[in-house]
A = this chain, B = another copy of it.
């Protein structure tokens, strides 16, 4: 494992647990097993490191979302698939996603704009599913924006409370969330209410591999 790879994961770990501001650059160096000055070979500054990590993480999320959407045939399927991917990503790549979610306020204006743009790009993919479902009458969405934000907050929250050591596996948590989301938008077909099991999605292991894939 290279110095930079160690730095990367150490930084995510520390930023996610202590917070960006509370993480000293010396801690970072020590925990990464490199010297303080060497740290500056790998980054231009503390904020630059942060923004890089956030871009990588959000970029990955967007890529995965696109991969997932390429496999579906309807807004309802798209919404369910995004939910599963999102929950798995927030459980399996917890540190990354927490940092993105938490440390926007630690960025200067310029960097914040960059990250917000990426976040918007990601949320747009969710918006499209809700809009599509609403238009085709397969979802009931009281308010498009509020619903989208509510769903996202709910699914993102997994990163904060999920623990490997609990009774429930992450796959189940993801499945439950997909069902909650479908319930929330009252997803239906001609036959009536749709549950996750009614959909023709790739198996959860496929999602898991996608999300865990190192590159």
A residues with CB within 8 A of B: 17-19, 21-22, 102, 105-106, 142-143, 145-147, 149-158, 160-161, 168, 172-173, 176-177, 179-180, 183-186
A171 CB, nearest partner CB in chain B, Å = 12
Rounded to whole angstroms, the CA-CA distance of A176 and B146 in the bound complex is 8
Q: Which 4 A-B pairs have the closest CB atoms?
A: A153-B157, A21-B21, A154-B154, A21-B22
Q: List 10 A-B contacts (CB under 8 A).
A: A19-B19, A19-B105, A22-B106, A143-B168, A149-B161, A150-B157, A150-B180, A153-B160, A153-B161, A183-B185
Nearest-CB residue, chain B, relative to A104: B160
Which residues of the partner chain B approach A106 to less than 8 Å between Cβ atoms?
19, 22
The secondary structure that dominates the A interface is helix
Number of copies: 4
Rounded to whole angstroms, the CA-CA distance of A98 and B17 in the bound complex is 17
A34 CB, nearest partner CB in chain B, Å = 19
Flag if B105 contacts A180 (CB, 8 Å).
no
A200 CB, nearest partner CB in chain B, Å = 21
Q: Could you say which of A102, A151, A153, A186 has the most chain B C-beta atoms within 10 Å of its C-beta?
A: A153
Nearest-CB residue, chain B, relative to A175: B142
Which residues of the partner chain B approach A151 to less than 8 Å between Cβ atoms?
154
Rounded to whole angstroms, the CA-CA distance of A183 and B177 in the bound complex is 13
Rounded to whole angstroms, the CA-CA distance of A7 and B156 in the bound complex is 33
Flag if A142 contacts B179 (CB, 8 Å).
yes
Which residues of the partner chain B approach A18 to less than 8 Å between Cβ atoms?
105
